[in-house]
Amino acid sequence: MKCTTPQCLQETHPGLCDAKNLDAGVEEVFGMMLGVNCRRIADAPAAEMETEQGIVTAVIGLGGVLSGACVLRCSARAAMRMVGRMAGMVFAEVDEMVEDGIGEICNMVAGAWRNKVPELAASCGLSVPAVVSGSGYNLHLQALEFQLQCAYGFEDVRFTVSIAYGGLSQPKPRTA
């Protein structure tokens, strides 16, 4: 787990930095939607993600009081297994259905995490998923102030989920 925070963010917004909220969101989604017991593990080595089939990265933008992203990254094999569990199918390659499925899993994880953080539940919107698959690419998120990254696994499947953001603003008061 990696958490970097500016200016005592842990004191002012402890729910954002608490990996337990991310763990609970991942466990909830994977238990309910994939029917597996998924838990945090020691960081997955980068080499484990890099395979001949490549990697799959899903990104959900966060907007409102929090400007950032939720990122799910896994090997192509792991993506096919996750989506296969969710859809009740077996995949031989990363196709559009696998990409859509990984995007939806990332979306559900982002939503579950957001709903566990009271400061965000009603004031942080989620974007539609963006998914990149293949090999030899890097994902760059600009102006990060905070990043929480955890590795998870079930059976022999490993993946990482990151919450990263570049700004936190105060919610605007509602007018009648």
The answer as to whether 174 is a domain residue is no
Q: How far is CA 23 from CA 43, 93, 161, in A?
A: 14, 28, 10
Within a domain: 68: yes
Highest mean pLDDT among 18-22, 89-93, 123-127, 140-144: 89-93
In a domain? residue 176: no
| Domain membership flag for residue 173 | no
Answer whether residue 43 is part of any domain: yes
For 10-14, 15-19, 121-125, which range has the lowest pLDDT when averaged over its residues?
Answer: 10-14
Q: Map tokens 């609970």 to a residue.
A: 24
Q: Which two tokens stand for residue 96?
A: 């559009």
φ/ψ (deg, to 5) at 34? -110, -15
41 in a structural domain: yes
What is the rounded distance in angstroms from the CA atom of residue 26 to the CA atom of residue 20?
10
Query: What total number of domains does the chain contain?
Result: 1
Distance between CA atoms of residues 139 and 56, nearest Å: 11
CATH number for the domain harbouring residue 138:
3.40.1550.10
- 81 domain-assigned: yes
Task: Write out the residue range of the structural domain in which residue 154 sits.
Answer: 2-168
pLDDT band at 94, cuts 50/70/90?
Answer: very high
C-alpha closest to that of 41 among 88, 78, 93 = 78
What confidence category does residue 90 fall into, taking pLDDT thresholds of 50, 70 and 90? very high
Q: What are 141-158's pLDDT values in tens digits?
A: 776 677 889 999 999 999
Residue 11 confidence (pLDDT) above 60: no
pLDDT tens digits, residue range 46-69? 555 656 679 999 999 998 888 889
